[in-house]
Structure 1
Amino acid sequence: MQKLQFAKMQGAGNDFIVLDGIRQPLTLTPAQIRWLADRHFGIGADQILLVEHPSRADADFKYRIFNADGGEVEHCGNGARCFVKFVHAVGLTHKRQINVEVQKGLIRLTLQENGEVCVEMGAPLFDPACVPFDTAQIDSHTEGNDTLWPLELGGKRVWVSVLSMGNPHAVQQVDEIEMAPVSHDGALIEAHSRFAQRVNAGFMQIVRRDMIKLRVYERGAGETLACGTGACAAAVTAIRRGLVDSPVTVSMRGGQVTILWEGAEIYMVGSAMTVFNGEIDMLDAPASSNLPV
């Protein structure tokens, strides 16, 4: 493989390189992924999305997600919206509703008449073992129907809700989102020893009962302009604490999504768009990479 065709896409400012692995079968190394995602030496993206043939009969496609650090992850809501727009744009399907295989199951994506995409995100999991999160020798407290856990961060304590959206999340409430120490505390939370597979760190501010503001320090990517699974995790957390009602608008630096949750499946509705299409010569890709991770 020399020339790699790609689409650069974004959902609420969360940006992606989307690759058709059906018409051009691909095997990318972590070094190649880091190079493609690097904003100075490659194309630049928060994550790389790969469309493949499904391995199960009830799915239309398989969807793989790689963070900018080269690691494969379980789920990405903003990427899912870009995914359905992409497979339509390149003619891989004409169906408005598709079933997509992800690492931990099946999700359903619907391209709506107004161009927005509804993603059935699955049900949140609150058992710490499903995250996984180590609760040994710490005590939680409740707020509404939610459980908060203490994290020690370099001499201070923060309280977080811990849940899985197919990937791990730790969500804390802050008074003023723009003053929140997202870069500093987010890095500490992401790598905290109680999270065996690291974690996405969410910082949410309650605006009113139908809106929250959110910033997310994503596992393997740093702070991004938006995070779809993070928006779901924050909305669910706020609903369980009795702070907001469903549906709730989650406003992030790159845009907003609407989250609907009535105690079972979560639905996320939002936009996605192609920024540009291109081609890159993979002969320029390094066999190994010392690019920043």
Structure 2
Amino acid sequence: MISLAFTKGQGTGNDFVLFTDPDGEIDLSPAQIRALCDRRFGVGADGVIRAVRSRALPEGAAALAEEPEAEWFMDYWNADGTPAEMCGNGVRVYAHYLISEGLVPAERSDTLPIGTRAGVKDVLQTSSGYTVDLGPWRLAPERLVAARGLDVARPGLGIDLGNPHLVVALADPGELDALELHRAPAMDPAPERGANVEFVVAEEPLLQHGAACIRMRVHERGVGETQSCGTGAAAAALAFRHWGGEGMPTSWRVEVPGGRLQVRMFPTATGEHVSLGGPAELVYSGTIELA
């Protein structure tokens, strides 16, 4: 048995089990991760985040090569025990955890670089939570998406943010509410690594107080339907702007079942980046025995 000290955290309802392992000495198996995330017999979460120093694991070498100050790596695992490249809500909660646990100085006013399997992500603490620069993005191939509650398969626009997404536009809120996302949508052709699938509708009116407003539900690969998906919110905003063409705004508000997220697109010397802002909360801490 292993006795694991953990903290439960959430960002717009996307919830995580976090634990500290600075030197990479705790190697949880996929079965142990599934047990932690089980909502009946475990703590319950959409994923597990290990706080580990970048130098302590092979994936961290690339992060340190990209940014030598990326001391901490977000070792993120989906609820089904599979590793994931990144999580937009998770990286905000992780930054809050590092600060709250005293692993990084609480008084720092600049961005906090965090290593992930999708590269280094810079997180900034704000008055309303945390904002993360998700970095560059790119269009990916379209695929047909079929889901329970849809009368016919719909085209999904591929958006790659370091992790893969398919964004499906729906005609009205009724279609969005009718979806049954307890089963994974079918994608044709099926992506080799799978994909998160976002179903989105525009709010009425679309433009409110200088921002475009959309509403989203998501099925996350390796998890199921979640209350929120940070990179999914960014992908949904990027897809809508792509469909809208010239004149679409760069500031977006994305309503998810678990709350509200802010997305912004902005130019950099290396191309366009997209940022994600929203709350992060640590709910409780405890200890659990794992077989």
TM-score range, shorter chain: 0.7 to 0.9
- Superposed, 1:1-293 pairs within 5 Å as 2-22=2-22, 25-54=25-54, 55=60, 56=64, 57-94=68-105, 95-96=108-109, 97-112=111-126, 114-128=127-141, 149-151=142-144, 153=146, 156-180=152-176, 182-183=179-180, 187-189=184-186, 192-207=188-203, 208-209=206-207, 210-242=212-244, 244-262=248-266, 264-282=272-290, 285=291
Distance in 2, matches of 1:42 and 1:84, equals 24
Q: Counterpart of 2:91 in structure 1: which amino acid?
A: A
- Secondary structure of the 1:241 match is helix
Residue 238 of structure 1: SS of its match in structure 2? helix
- Shift of residue 14, structure 1, vs aligned partner: 0.6
Structure 1 stretches of 5 or more lacking a match?
129-148, 286-293
- Off by >4 Å, runs of 4+ in structure 1: none
* Alignment partners' CA distance in 1, 2:181 and 2:84: 23
Unaligned runs of 5+ in 2: 55-59
1:259–1:267 Cα contact (<8 Å) kept: yes
Query: Per the alignment, in what secondary structure is the counterpart of residue 80 of structure 2?
Result: coil
SS at match of 1:229: helix
Equivalent position of 2:57 in the other structure: none
Shift of 1:76: 0.3
DSSP 3-state at the match of 2:238: helix
The percentage of counterpart residues that share the same residue type is 30
* TM-score, scaled to structure 2: 0.84
Name the aligned partner's letter for residue 253 of structure 1.
P
What is the CA distance between 1:91 and its match in structure 2? 0.5
C-alpha change, 1:185 and 1:37, in structure 2 (3 Å) is closer
Partner Cα separation in structure 1 for residue 166 and residue 285 of structure 2? 35
Aligned residue pairs, count = 261
Displacement of 1:126:
1.2
Contact in 1 for aligned 2:139/2:159 (Cα 8 Å): yes
Give the deviation of 1:84 after TM superposition. Answer: 0.7
Are the structure 2 counterparts of residues 185 and 195 from structure 1 closer, same or farther at C-alpha, using a change threshold of 3 Å? farther
Counterpart code for 1:212: I
Give, in whole Å, the separation in 1 of the partners of 2:24 and 2:6. Answer: 10
What secondary structure is seen at the aligned counterpart in 2 of 1:187?
Answer: coil
Q: Calculate the TM-score normalised by the size of structure 1.
A: 0.83
Q: Is the 8 A contact 1:65 1:74 kept in 2?
A: yes
Query: Root-mean-square deviation (CA), in Å?
Result: 2.1
2:144 partner amino acid: L
